């Protein structure tokens, strides 16, 4: 029994073709939307590529851009088919292409569904990318005189100000690296010498943070040096001073920002996928209803349209059988080629008669 079997007359076929033509052009605009989302996400990721460890995070925007382009191409082509289906003479040239086209549409819909899922599942990969990238970026914060790294201080400072964050996982991350350049250290000072000697790697470590970690909402002037030394500041307890420095790490802030953006894009892509599926089903009904017209010379005659000629179960079984036949055919061919190779490798014996 056919799946989603529907009876059509001439009027219904025309209405279906006109409706599909409109839906295809709406799908073109949906493709432009998906393309624009991918382009926007790519630009946003490139803005902070210095604090990202690898280019894997660009898989999502690249996929959205490709899906958007393909959606425009597929739906523009389908719109032309639907428009020509109103004229039997014009539709005749599209008939041989419809089945392969619908197969490509099916593959495209699987891909767009996969991309929508990836938008929701990229959080883990993005987390590790940001964690390592921010760690490396903070190490290069002091290298203001090193070519290729001189921009890192500005990048990190602007990032912490914009996202109201501090460090990788928190402000204490700055205590573990030397973020002040040697150029601005007085090596004749006893304090500087003692701090460098007390560190195994010879680094100048302090319990301080860059100015960009300061929270402007704090009621007192920002305390960015000797942060954990309560006695160094009047009426101060670093464990209770919630407003002095940003407590949230930049990894968490960026992860929430990009994850929220990608989740929204994933939801929009899923809606586009549902719309594309409805267009594909409608196109399949139009295709089968036009193919099943018993008398092509009588445009008013009734016909039947369906999505699958047999039930879902029978179609699945038929597909499995075809795959098995294809596998057997390949094995037979491989065996025949092997046998020919063996025969060709044998050399006939030559006897010499004296």
Q: What would the mean pLDDT of 105-110 be, rounded to a whole number?
A: 92
- What pLDDT shows up at residue 100? 86
pTM for the model stands at 0.79
Whether the predicted pLDDT of 339 surpasses 70: no
Tens digit of each residue's pLDDT (9 = 90 or more) over 142-191:
988 888 788 899 999 999 999 999 999 999 999 999 999 888 888 888 88
Provide the pLDDT for residue 352.
Answer: 47
Degrees to nearest 5, angle at CA 90 with 88 and 95: 80
pLDDT, position 110: 95
CB distance 221 to 214 below 8 Å: no
What's the pLDDT band for 286 if we cut at 50, 70, 90? Answer: confident
- Contacts of residue 76, defined as CB under 8 A and 6 or more positions apart, other chains included, come to 24, 25, 28
User: What does the pLDDT average to over 272-300?
Assistant: 80
Task: State the pLDDT at residue 345.
Answer: 55
Higher confidence at residue 43 or residue 327?
43
Q: pLDDT at residue 347 above 80?
A: no
What integer pLDDT is reported at residue 92 of this predicted model? Answer: 74
Rounded-to-integer distance, Cα 24 and Cα 279, Å: 7
- Calpha distance 274→282 (Å, rounded): 12
Residue 354 above 50 pLDDT?
no
* Residue 64 pLDDT grade (very low, low, confident, very high; cuts 50, 70, 90): very high
- Determine the 3-state secondary structure of 290 from DSSP: helix
Arithmetic mean of pLDDT over the chain: 83
309 band by pLDDT with thresholds 50, 70 and 90: low
Report the alpha-carbon distance of residue 18 to residue 15 in Å, rounded.
5
- What's the mean pLDDT in 105-126? 92
- The answer, yes or no, to whether residue 290 has pLDDT greater than 60, is yes
**pLDDT over 90, % of the chain:** 36
The C-alpha atoms of residue 320 and residue 151 are separated, in whole angstroms, by: 59
Q: Residue-wise over 147-157: b if at least 16 C-beta within 10 A, else e? A: eebeebbebbe
């Amino acid at each position: 029994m056919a799946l989603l079997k529907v009876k059509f007359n001439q009027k219904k076929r025309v209405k279906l073709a006109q409706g599909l033509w409109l839906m295809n052009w709406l799908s073109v605009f949906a493709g432009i939307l998906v393309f624009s989302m991918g382009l926007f996400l790519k630009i946003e990721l490139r803005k902070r590529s210095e604090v990202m460890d690898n280019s894997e995070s660009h898989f999502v925007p690249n996929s959205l851009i490709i899906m958007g382009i393909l959606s425009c191409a597929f739906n523009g082509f389908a719109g032309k088919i639907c428009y020509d289906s109103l004229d039997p003479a014009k539709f005749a040239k599209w008939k041989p292409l419809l089945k392969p086209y619908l197969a490509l549409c099916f593959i495209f819909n699987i891909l767009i569904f996969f991309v929508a899922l990836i938008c929701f599942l990229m959080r883990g990969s993005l987390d590790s990318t940001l964690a390592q990238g921010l760690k490396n970026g903070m190490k290069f914060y002091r290298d203001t005189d090193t070519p290729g790294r001189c921009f890192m201080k500005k990048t990190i400072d602007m990032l912490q100000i914009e996202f109201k964050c501090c460090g990788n996982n928190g402000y204490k991350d700055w205590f573990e690296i030397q973020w002040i350049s040697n150029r601005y250290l007085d090596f004749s000072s006893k304090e500087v010498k003692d701090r460098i000697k007390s560190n195994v790697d010879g680094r100048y470590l302090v319990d301080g943070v860059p100015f960009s970690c300061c929270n402007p909402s704090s009621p007192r002037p920002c305390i960015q040096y000797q942060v954990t030394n309560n006695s160094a500041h009047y009426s101060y307890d670093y464990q209770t001073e919630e407003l002095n420095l940003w407590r949230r790490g930049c990894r968490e802030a960026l992860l929430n920002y990009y994850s929220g953006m990608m989740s929204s894009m994933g939801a929009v892509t899923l809606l586009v996928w549902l719309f594309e599926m409805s267009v594909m089903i409608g196109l399949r009904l139009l295709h089968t209803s036009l193919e099943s017209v018993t008398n092509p010379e009588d445009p008013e005659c009734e016909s039947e349209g369906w999505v699958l000629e047999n039930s879902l179960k029978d179609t699945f079984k038929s597909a499995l059988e075809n795959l098995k036949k294809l596998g057997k055919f390949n094995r037979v061919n491989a065996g025949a080629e092997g046998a020919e190779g063996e025969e060709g490798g044998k050399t006939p014996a030559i006897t010499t008669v004296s």
